[in-house]
Amino acid sequence: MQVDHRQVESVPPFVKALDLSLDDPLLQVVYDLYQTGDLEDWNVTCPTEQRMWLRFRRPQSTLPAQGWKLHLSADHLSAETVLRRVLPLLLAKTVAFKCTSSLLNLTKLNKGEGGESQIGKFLTIYPRSSEEAVEIAPLLDELTDGLSGPRIPSDRMLRPNSLVFYRYGGMNSEKWVQESNGQIWPALTTPDQRLIRDVRSLTYKAYAEWSDPFLAAGVASELPKSPRIIAQRYLLMSLISASVKHKIYLAVDLEEKHTCIIKALGHSWQQVLPVSEREDFYREACALRVLGSHSQIPTYFDLLEHDSDMYLVMSDVPGELLMQRMSKLTLTGAVPLSQVLTWASEVAELLLFIHEQGFVYADLKPTNLIIGSDEKLSLIDFELADRQGAPGQLLRGTRGYVSPQQYAAYPRHITDDIYSFGALLYFIVTGAESSNAPDPFHLLNRPLELFRADIPDRLKQIIVRCLQPEVAERYASFTEILTDLTLVEQIVPPAPSVPGLLDTVANELRARSIATDLLETLCAFAYQSEAGTEGLTWRSKHFLTNGYALRDLNAGHAGTLLALAGLAAELDRPEARNVLAQGAAYLQTMQPHSNPPLSGLYVGEAGVGTAFLFAGLVLNDSTLLEAAVERGRMIAAFPQTTLDLFHGSAGRLLFHLLLWDTTREQEHLDAAWVCGEHLIQTAQIRENGEVCWEMVGVEQSTEQGAYLGYAHGVAGIADALLDLFEATADTRLLPIIQGATRWLQRLAIPMFEDQSGLSWPMTERSSGPFHPFWCHGATGIGRFFLHVSRYDWAPEALTIAKRAAITVFQLTKHGSPVLCHGLAGSIEFLLDLYQETQEPLYLSQAQLFGRLLEAFATEQEGHLTFFSDRYDVSSPDYQVGYAGIAMSFLRLSAPERIPAQLSRAGFRAYKRQAEATAQLLKR
């Protein structure tokens, strides 16, 4: 029976919350129990923030903080039967549990959309004790025997082929642990009262602190090891790759005596393999049988089923993935146009062959192309390949490469491959990976010419035509594309390094408008955490926070508050000052997530104090300034365990200097000097007086050698010491700063054919340049050299900074939008150079980056936001979210005047502005 809840009066509240029709089989099962009164004594809820789940609890019942949890696996074929069989038992035992709220949500879960560790977790049961868990588990196993579902990677299976899994973990705990890198995790309390991370990994982890009661009671069985030999013929040698969908092995055919590739399911199935999984393997095998005669396509060998798993055996295609080659090339420059055309022609020829055999490939992307030893491209992974005109499959394909028609399950057509070909060329030409695009169906929102001024018009026209949303506007065949590729000019005269842009005033007004809109967003999205609590906060959605409320500057409340203060000081929005005051009030109530508290600038109490200091200056609030001072005194007493700017002594040093700049109290300068002295003592003096620091961060080892970058390495430490020298004029600092300068200068790597740019490795023992961002690469290191250039003892420093800027301009256009490792950070460095040199080139480049940054804009609840460093996350954070992006647009709105916010110059500028405002208010 199908019931539309909009036509029924007695509809459960949880169904109304879902706003779904009751024709979903899982909801129908629950609705039937509701109708019979079996749920009369139960609270059934579907939280609006977690619509994935239906939760079942008895009134007044409480969950244990932690314990042995049970999970029941199911797939879309078995889920209804599993639910009907086990619900009576769970209701009779009055045990709390939850299940997915619909078959669609279960399908998403099993595809890994909730994370790989969540695959298969159709039903979660929360026993009140280990004894109850041991009692219920075999009963559930008996009820679900013979049904199908994927194995749950994070849990232990009760017995072979069981749908019952278990693990020790949190149930109702509000405890968490913050690691020294800033990431926060749910926590478990050990028997000796220690807090440890509640691990949800891709393999089962047994905690030493809790013995397994299921094994002890004889309820659980020992599990067999995964087989090394399949069907007594194929020896698995090594795992090449693993994903939610598949595992790829290098194997040996023991009969034919040669290597081969074996493709298996990503997560093995219990009992019966679903028809859809079988069909995928049979379809791919069919395609390889027909197409494998081509020398650049794998040869089909075998297809077999073994222990509820399927294995597709094919020839090994040795070589390097195109994605890997592109990763190397984008670190050193753009792909030469001659190489672009060679690859384009090879791929077009391959796809033309596939189309001539009556197939559509349907999954063209750089991870499915291999460059062989002869530099020829081969296609691999024919999972989605199908006959032309075959029925489509909804949501199949790779984001950024799949055509709108294929994604919407239209019948397979060769124009799907033509669209994907355009997306592949877009990536090869620009270095901007199409699957990470802010809008996957409108790649050209970031125009090709903004990435490469030297792109030939004909090549641009080919890419644009391939990427047309409407089929009729694309090429009709690869024959046409190959013809047009032969007409692309092989030699293109170099274009000006900076294309003409809109006039400066228009750019500044545009940037101010975006900064203002983001300020309004921050005000609109501030919320009261709980009824009766003081102040307002923001919900960070970055993965570092794991859903918890963080206080930090990098990702968390302090960083959002810092940006809000900067925006409120510049933009005339009275409501912003009110939200700023309430945000500061809430920060005062937030407690550290680690014991003892972390002390760093970007992660820890120095960052919290910095936010108080800036908010206090903007609001002219002595209470907030005193809160900042108290943080300074507190961390001055902490041990100095790490050295870098992000987590350690260098960041603490800068915070103490900001306090001294603001208050002129000697205690803060003394505290800064203590940090500086520690950095002097821990410096390693190398040959020729070069200086570096090893083991500066939280996850480093001596095997890696010293880190070079600004956030986590030598550049940031030396820059903080240079700030201290400017405050104290203490010449003991100079040999250390000068030695670090020489060390970084020696490790610089010339870039591009003309050697005009400079880049740096991540560590002194790394091979080749690292991504030129703020955290580890040329953006941050260039900032240090720009600072050093003010002194005559470093005559080459400005040239080095400018050469770093060449690399930043050429190689970070395809980056994410954020400050830490993206476009916003590049904008900040280019504006620093412009303010220091007054050369218009750097302003023009910063404005161009601003145009690229705008492509990441999105909307939430009618307000402007920006994507974070992931295309599916928009978060109000400073280093990794749109709060920091707002500050970059603010600087673009007044590029002559506004300095980098998180710097001594930035704080001094806002202090002067705050003092001037205070004087006006007194009149």
Binding-site residue set for Zn(2+): 775, 820-821
User: Which of 358, 372, 386 has its CA nearest to residue 322?
Assistant: 372
**Beta-sheet pairing, 149-150 with 96-100:** unpaired
In angstroms, the CA 715 to CA 643 distance is 12
Alpha-carbon torsion (887, 888, 891, 893), positive or negative: negative
User: Do the Cβ atoms of 103 and 79 come closer than 8 Å?
Assistant: yes
3-state secondary structure of 176: strand
Q: Which two tokens stand for residue 124?
A: 């979660």
CB-CB neighbours of 40 under 10 Å:
8
CA atoms within 13 A on the CB side of 563: 34
Q: What residues form the annotated binding site?
A: 775, 820-821
In angstroms, the CA 633 to CA 631 distance is 5
Phi, psi (deg, nearest 5) at residue 678: -65, -40
The CA–CA distances, whole Å, from 769 to 281, 331, 333, 521, 644 equal 41, 6, 11, 38, 21
Residue 339: CB partners within 8 Å, gap ≥ 6?
none
In angstroms, the CA 391 to CA 729 distance is 75
CA atoms within 13 A on the CB side of 848: 25
For tokens 């680690």, the residue is 594
User: Do the Cβ atoms of 334 and 364 come closer than 8 Å?
Assistant: no
3-class SS letters over 807-854: HHHHHCCCCECCCCCEHHHHHHHHHHHHHHHCCHHHHHHHHHHHHHHH
User: Do the Cβ atoms of 284 and 385 come closer than 8 Å?
Assistant: yes
The CA–CA distances, whole Å, from 574 to 515, 569, 579, 622, 877 equal 15, 10, 9, 19, 22
DSSP symbols for 123-143:
EEEE-SSHHHHHHHHHHHHHH
Tell me the helices (H) and strands (E) count for the chain, helix number first.
Answer: 29, 29
Q: Which two tokens stand for residue 288?
A: 């390889």
In angstroms, the CA 388 to CA 357 distance is 9
